[in-house]
Structure 1
Amino acid sequence: MRFPRLPLTLLMTGLLALSGCSTHQPVALYQLDSGQPGQPSQAAGMAVVVGPVSVADYLQRETFLQRQPDGSLSAATDGRWAGSLSSDIDQLLVRQLAWRLDSQRVVLAPAGAGFSPDVQVLLSITRLDSGTKQPAILDAQWRVLDRRGQVRDNRIVHLEQPHEGSESAQVQAQGQLLQKLAEQLSTAIKPLANQPALAQEPATKKSSTPVQVRKEREKSRIPMAAPIRTDMEVYRF
């Protein structure tokens, strides 16, 4: 007696699918390595605002991207970011700068009311990625503003970090690049610790409207003609 082959085929397909599910590896979750920054000791150190920090659009996703030799990007199949990469970048920079400047007054933008920064850092990150055979690369531009809002330093940076090729090694290399960026920023910020205090505005300001002085009409220097009565009317000047 011959059994129909169709049900047996479906049964084998189902068993293979279940076997594949049981051997599927869980997706690895990654976070940037912030190194080992120490705890800042000065509660009254420099007041620094970090941000706004602009991150390239292609980095604002949970997908862990791999740079290919031809320059293209592909999504990793067995790994992704464990949250917001932009948020990880912000927190890494704040911790690194607070440690390097030895100040607990390093905050993210926007700063709270009443916080008067000595320095503000404007940062734009246009590239942060790596690949199995490609080094980790960071492209960024930053500006440092003093307490008057004037640009005191401006720089475009390109940093590279080699790694061993695995995804975990790539994540570690990307974190090291951001640590190097924080080191450069702290070097640019430290000279601004001795800024002169802001000059206080005078209590009363002089009016900018010129006072109009009413000038009296100048009298004519030419004497008025006065008639002299004689037999003939003669006018003497």
Structure 2
Amino acid sequence: MTALRFPGILLLAGVLSLAGCVRYQQAPLYQLDSGDIRVPAAEQGIAVLLGPVAIADYLQREALLQRQADGSLTAAENASWAGSLASDIDQQLVRQLASRLNSQRLVLAPTTAGFVPQVRLGLSITRLDSGPQRPAVLEAQWRLAGADGKLLDGRLVHLEEGHNGSIVDQVRAQSLVVQQLVEQLAAAVETQSMPAPKAPAPARKHAPVKPEPPVPPRIPVVEPMRGESEVFRF
């Protein structure tokens, strides 16, 4: 009796294993979208050191997390990221910034030997998620410093983007808030890299005009007229 049931158990186990493999293979994988970008063809533009880039621990995984109505996070059952989301964010930042600044002189910290940055851009991303009934939300803080390390600018960021609830549209919305963050970073870098306007030349001080001395009144000259009698004509 046992000998007859054993092959059936093996068959059932094989069917379940195959079903599990098929289900795993059918789960779609997602990546953030870069948008309409172009890679600069030549090494030119401002030299930027991007980093350190700190990304929240819960984003450093392949699970595509869903923010629920009560604020909790659960992993999506039928979708995941194509690799670490944190690594994808790093690459998106570099590529999108290079495109917007038209510069290939972008290096992700830690810097390589011989690279001398003109500005240093530090970034901390504390939130990037969405849910079936929750918008895509990105929260971050960035700091822009000069080559000498002096702080030039910085800001706390909160960005939101709506979607229709599907996983595909959630990924689209999360991609858009990342693109909006890069727009802010690029604008800050461009503002600081512009040459300072020249101060206007001081106005020349003109010497005071001396008033002309008053012209003395002309005194008529008395001329005698010769005749029978002296008549004075003025």
- Structure 2 equivalent of residue 74 of structure 1: 74
Given that 1:42 and 1:102 are in contact with CA atoms closer than 8 Å, whether structure 2 keeps it comes out as: no
**2:9 counterpart of 1:18:** no
* 1:131 and 2:131 aligned: yes
The reply to whether residue 96 of structure 1 matches residue 96 of structure 2 is yes
- Aligned positions of 1:45-194 closer than 5 A: 45-194=45-194
Query: Structure 1 pair 70/14, CA: closer, same or farther in 2 (3 Å)?
Result: farther
After TM superposition, give the deviation of residue 40 of structure 1 in Å: 2.0
Structure 2 distance, partners of 1:184, 1:157, is 9
SS state of the match for residue 40, structure 1?
coil
Distance 1:114 1:16 in 2: 59
SS of corresponding position for 2:131: coil
Indicate the percent of aligned positions where both proteins have the same amino acid. 52
* SS at structure 2 position matched to 1:130: strand
Q: Secondary structure at 2:134's aligned position in 1?
A: coil
Instruction: Pick the structure with greater CA Rg.
Output: 2
State which drifts further: 64-73 or 161-170. 161-170
Kept in 1: contact 2:44–2:102 (CA 8 A): no
Cα deviation digits, residues 176-217 of structure 1 (max 9, x gap): 111100000011110222468xxxxxxxxxxxxxxxxxxxxx
How many residues in Structure 1 have an aligned counterpart in Structure 2? 193
* CA distance in structure 2 between the partners assigned to 1:44 and 1:12 by the alignment: 66
Q: 1:143 to 1:165 in 2, by over 3 A?
A: same
Residue 44 (str. 1) matches residue 54 (str. 2): no
Separation (CA, whole Å) in 2 of partners of 1:51 and 1:63: 25
Aligned mates of 1:21, 1:76 — CA distance in 2: 21
Determine the C-alpha separation between the residues in 1 that align with 2:188 and 2:167.
32
* Structure 1, unpaired ranges of 5+: 197-237
Q: 1:83/1:14 Cα in 2 relative to 1: closer, same or farther (>3 Å)?
A: same
CA offset at residue 64 of structure 1? Answer: 1.0
The CA deviation at 1:134 is 1.0
What displacement does 1:15 show?
Answer: 4.7
Q: Give, in whole Å, the separation in 1 of the partners of 2:85 and 2:13.
A: 37
Q: Which amino acid counterpart does residue 167 of structure 1 have in structure 2?
A: I
Tell me if structure 1 keeps the 8 A contact 2:55–2:126.
yes
Structure 2 Cα separation of the partners of residues 155 and 173 of structure 1? 22
Per-residue deviation, 1:174: 0.9
Q: What is the CA RMSD across the aligned residues, in angstroms?
A: 2.5
Mapped contact 1:63–1:76 kept (Cα < 8 A) = yes
Q: 2:30–2:80: 8 Å Cα contact kept in structure 1?
A: yes
CA deviations on 1:88-144 (whole Å, 9 max, x unpaired) are: 111111111111111111111112111111111100000000111111100000000
Unaligned runs of 5+ in 2: 197-234
Distance 2:143 2:39 in 1: 26
Q: Output the CA distance in 1 between the equivalents of 2:110 and 2:16.
A: 52
